[in-house]
Amino acid sequence: MGHDGKSACPLRYWRTLAACATLSRPHSKRVSSEGRLMPGGRRQPAPSEREFLMAKRKPKQPQQPPGSRGKAGFSTRAIHAGEDRARYADSITTPIVQTSTYAFKNSKEVEDYTKHGKERFEYGRYGNPTEKVAERRLAALGGGEDCVVFGSGMSAIITTILALVRSNDHIVITDDAYKKTLEFCSAYLQRFGVDCTIVPFGDYDAIDSAVRPNTRFIFSESPTNPYLNIFDLDRLREIARRHQVLTLIDATFSTPLNQRPLEFGVDLVLHSCTKYLAGHNDILAGAVLGRKELVGEIRKMHKAIGGVIDPHCCYLLLRGLKTFALRMKIHNETGMRIARHLEGHPQIKRVYYPGLESHPYYAIAQAQMSGFGGVVTFEIRGTIKTAKRFLDSLKLCYIAPSLGGVETLITHPATVSYYDCTRKERYALGITDTLIRLAVGIEDADDIIADLDQALHQSTGA
């Protein structure tokens, strides 16, 4: 059980413990390594994990808002999906159920739950009514059969990965993924005996060649951070199906309004709900959605690890989702307008925005996306001092990490996300001295442009 990364953590012990705990609860649907416990003590042979997780997809059953006929529009689902028509005290909004545990009326209720599988809430780490509404709504927006919400986007990513891998497994991840995701996969997973191959983004031959017999999944983002590269989801699906491996996409930057990877055959989609979905820079939250059997495995791991979201955050997430489509429309429009403005500015060396014809993945973005978001990345002419003068001259935009909120935020990757790298290391990753990432809010576009223009003028020292 060494912690030096040379010996694998004894995951079999923990799996055995988990299987025993599951079998002690007859209503559980978990498939153990020994098969399902049947009446009379018989065991039904269990499918292999690969057979179980790669099972034939069932037709999607998207959540419908109460009283709707057919599939409701996106904004209608963003407001109503997942809710019951009748709510406590006839409340219009989803109530915040602020409790850590739930009482049983009597011993019969306990046995109905533990022995007969009656659905109800038991303990806060295993679920909450406000949380369930948020999960159902996100599943409806993204086209998933099921969804689990977490206390942060990274909690969603790490729990999902740990739920899918076992000791001696292998994963493939692209080099343009979020820095902390890459760090976890390349540095921490090896402690559990899981190997990771990092491949260049967009090199589909390299991805194909990297897959091994023990590969569990291919992980990427689309769009990526900060260059907003777009993954060809059709090619990803073809590679994954040929090798019978799962596909995971972090779709935080695209959102369910602009792109729904599940419709392209991706198995699991992850979101940092902190960003566009909640949209007000006031909560941390994450989510994973997809096929019910896959999400079910992640939910079991979630219950064991924790990383739960509190009910008040769920309420704020639901509040944000009600205006999500309206906000996203402004993000898309303002992002495109600012990208075009900056592309013609004499102080700008280059602009990276998938809605621009100059972007290397413009054609794929046009084919897969209905909008391109509010993040615009660009390089300023000059030196790192020029970039700092630009940032220090801004009056409306806040210098801050994150994106997708109502306020416009701007960050300098070289001195924020990659401050701990040498200049040579940064440049090898494409993080130059004058690279800037702008996350437009929903202020008037003219005001954002005016602030950028005056700061660019000040940055020249004129």
Within a 10 A sphere around the Cβ of 227, how many other Cβ atoms? 19
Q: Are residues 23 and 81 in the same domain?
A: no
Has residue 86 got a pLDDT over 90?
Answer: no
- State whether 280 and 362 are in the same domain: no
Tell me what pLDDT residue 49 has: 55
Same domain for 284 and 331, yes or no, is no
pLDDT tens readout for residues 378-427: 999 999 999 999 999 999 999 999 999 999 999 999 999 888 889 999 99
Check whether residue 195 and residue 144 sit in a common domain: yes
So what's the pLDDT on residue 50?
A: 57
Mark which of 269, 293, 322 sits at the end of a domain: 322
Assess whether 441 and 355 both reside in one domain: yes
- pLDDT band at 2, cuts 50/70/90? very low
What are 329-351's pLDDT values in tens digits? 999 999 999 999 999 999 999 99
In a domain, 29, yes or no: yes
Evaluated on CA atoms 372, 375, 377, 378, the torsion sign reads positive
> Given strand 435-439, what is the order of strands in its sheet?
348-352, 375-380, 435-439, 409-411, 398-399
Residues 297 and 239 both lie in one domain: yes
Averaged pLDDT, 439-455: 98
**Residue 125 annotated as catalytic:** yes
State the residue range of the domain holding 367: 325-459
Number of domains in the chain: 3
Query: Does a structural domain hold residue 3?
Result: no
Closest of 189, 226, 196 to residue 211, by C-alpha? 196
pTM for this entry: 0.85
Residue 231 in contact with residue 249, Cβ under 8 Å? yes
CATH number of the domain that residue 354 is part of: 3.90.1150.10
Instruction: Judge whether 259 and 266 are in contact, CB under 8 Å.
Output: no
Residue in 260, 275, 291, 327 annotated catalytic: 275
User: Is the residue at 285 inside a domain?
Assistant: yes
Q: How confident is the model at residue 320 (pLDDT cuts 50, 70, 90)?
A: very high
pLDDT of 60 strictly over 60: no
The one catalytic residue in 250, 310, 433, 451 is: 250
Q: Ranked by mean pLDDT, which of 6-15, 45-54, 211-220 comes out on top?
A: 211-220
Q: Is residue 169 part of a domain?
A: yes
Answer yes or no: do 33 and 175 share one domain. no
What average pLDDT does range 420-443 have in this prediction? 94
The per-residue pLDDT for 462 is 57
Structural domain ending residue among the three candidates 276, 305, 322: 322
> Residue 70 has what pLDDT?
56
The answer to whether residue 51 sits within a structural domain is no
Q: Largest alpha-carbon pair distance within the chain?
A: 85
- Neighbouring CB atoms inside 10 A of 17's CB total 11
Looking at the fold, whether 283 and 162 belong to one and the same domain comes out as yes
Given 15, 87, 125, 340, which residue is catalytic? Answer: 125
Q: Which of 178, 315, 352, 353 is flagged as catalytic? A: 178
In a domain, 37, yes or no: yes
Query: What's the rounded Cα separation, in Å, for the pair 349 and 335?
Result: 18
Per-residue confidence (pLDDT) for residue 420, from 0 to 100: 86
pLDDT at residue number 301: 97
In a domain, 1, yes or no: no
Strands (E), 297-452: 348-352, 375-380, 398-399, 409-411, 435-439
> How is 153-178 classified by DSSP, letter by letter?
HHHHHHHHHHHH--TT-EEEEETTS-
Would you say 133 and 318 are in contact if contact means Cβ atoms under 8 Å apart?
yes
Q: Which residue, among 223, 175, 232, has the nearest Cα to 377 in the 3D structure?
A: 223
**Which H or E element spans position 207?**
helix 204-210
Specify whether 404 is located in the same domain as 356. yes
State yes or no: is 178 an active-site residue: yes
Question: What is the structure's pLDDT at 91?
Answer: 94
Mean pLDDT of 302-308: 95
Using the 3D structure, point to which of 276, 303, 322 is the last residue of a domain.
322
pLDDT at 302 over 50: yes
Residues 329 and 286 in one domain: no
The percentage of the chain sitting over the pLDDT mark of 90, rounded to a whole number, equals 81
Do 304 and 416 reside in the same domain of the chain?
Answer: no
**223: cis peptide before it, omega within 30°?**
yes
Shared domain check, 445 and 370: yes
Residue 154 belongs to domain with CATH number: 3.40.640.10
Whether 334 maps to a domain, the answer reads yes
